[in-house]
């Protein structure tokens, strides 16, 4: 049996996604490693999953199962009540990327979402959501998170360098600045012995 998955984003999906902080990959014949990104407000699956499944049920069909890696979720309930149904939750440690959420629907298939940590800044989350929703994206969830970390660290290094430049660069060495040292008088050879 072949299942055709229509990944188009409907108007209903777009208007509801603001409450779920969700970015989905547009419909395309070019598959990518991720189908979008989700930025939950907390690490509480009982509180966060119903909002997500409400949006995705309208877009993709009823979500029946969710799989997470427990690295970033302190409590993983076996079942989460959603509007009109219950979602079963499973977890895998070694088999699943710690930054990925897998959603399953009997009718429509599987989707993989990058999970952006709740404490992420809005600017970083926006970059990650855009990157995860790129058609044909070849970075894994952990790959995207590593890229964002490298981007942030490069920005911090650049900020330190700019600060260095505005402060006049490295401090000039002066012997009188060293404690306990008196400056020596330098004599040129023609003045020695006088």
pTM across the whole model: 0.72
Whether residue 108 lies inside any domain: the answer is: yes
pLDDT of residue 124: 96
In a domain, 49, yes or no: yes
Q: What is the pLDDT of residue 39?
A: 97
Query: Which residues make Cβ contacts (< 8 Å) with residue 191, sequence separation at least 6?
Result: none
With respect to residue 60, please indicate whether it lies within any of the assigned structural domains. Answer: yes
Range of the domain at 56: 21-141
Tokens at 115, concatenated? 């999970």
Q: Confirm whether 64 is domain-assigned.
A: yes
For 129-160, letters b (16+ CB in 10 Å) and e give bebbbbeebebbbebbbeebeeeeeeeeeeee
Residue 164 lies in a domain: no
Give the burial class of 123: count Cβ atoms within 10 A of its Cβ; 0-12 exposed, 13-18 middle, 19 or more buried: exposed
Residue 59 has a pLDDT of 83
Structural domain contains residue 74:
yes
CA–CA separation, 128 and 35 (whole Å) = 13
| pLDDT in 10s for each residue of the chain, 194 residues | 222 233 444 444 543 445 789 999 998 888 899 999 999 999 999 999 999 999 999 888 899 999 999 999 999 999 999 999 999 999 999 999 999 999 999 887 999 999 999 999 999 999 999 999 999 999 999 999 999 999 888 877 666 666 656 666 555 555 555 555 555 555 555 555 54
157 belongs to a structural domain:
no
Is residue 14 in a domain? no
* Total domains, the chain: 1
């Amino acid at each position: 049996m072949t299942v055709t998955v229509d990944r188009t984003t409907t108007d209903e999906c777009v208007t509801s996604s603001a409450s779920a902080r969700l970015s989905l990959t547009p419909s395309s014949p070019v598959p990518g490693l991720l189908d979008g990104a989700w930025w939950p407000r907390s690490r509480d699956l009982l509180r966060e999953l119903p909002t997500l499944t409400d949006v995705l049920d309208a877009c993709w069909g009823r979500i029946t199962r969710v799989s997470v890696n427990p690295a970033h979720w302190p409590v993983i309930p076996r079942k989460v009540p959603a509007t009109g149904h219950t979602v079963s939750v499973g977890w895998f440690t070694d088999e699943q990327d710690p930054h990925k959420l897998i959603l399953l629907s009997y009718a429509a298939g599987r989707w993989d979402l990058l999970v952006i940590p709740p404490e992420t800044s809005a600017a970083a989350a926006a970059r990650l959501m855009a990157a995860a929703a790129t058609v044909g994206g070849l970075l894994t969830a952990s790959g995207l998170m590593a890229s964002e970390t490298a981007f942030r660290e490069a920005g911090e290094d650049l900020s330190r360098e700019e600060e260095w430049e505005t402060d006049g660069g490295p401090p000039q060495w002066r012997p009188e600045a060293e404690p306990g040292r008196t400056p020596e008088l330098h004599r040129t050879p023609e003045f020695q012995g006088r």
